[in-house]
Amino acid sequence: MCMVRLRVREIAEAKGFNMSSLSRATGLGFSTIRRIWRNPYHEASTFTLSKIGKILGVPTAELIEDVPDPNE
């Protein structure tokens, strides 16, 4: 089985964003961005990912990747 991993941090950093600038640009709360940034396995709504993808200039699907579950 696979787990879903968010690629928000790596894509944002590659495009010159930090947590604060991404929070301001998306209009999302800093605590929301911090949770996603620090824990790539944190659940995020499609609404949140859509807002982030729009600001980063990438499709929402690019912010998500399937990774093997280490418990299996």
Q: What does 41-58 look like in DSSP terms, one character per residue?
A: TS---HHHHHHHHHHHTS
Q: What is the CATH number of the domain that holds 37?
A: 1.10.260.40
- Judge whether 56 lies within some domain: yes
Query: What type of residue is 10?
Result: E
pLDDT per residue as tens digits for the range 21-42? 999 999 999 999 999 999 999 9
Whole-model pTM: value is 0.89
- Judge whether 61 lies within some domain: yes
Query: What's residue 27's pLDDT?
Result: 98
- Judge whether 6 lies within some domain: no
User: Count of domains in the chain?
Assistant: 1
- Residue where the block lists tokens 């605590």: 31
Measured CA to CA in angstroms, residue 36 lies from 23, 47, 59, 72 at distances of 11, 14, 17, 24
Instruction: List the structure tokens of 23.
Output: 């929070």
Query: What's residue 72's pLDDT?
Result: 66
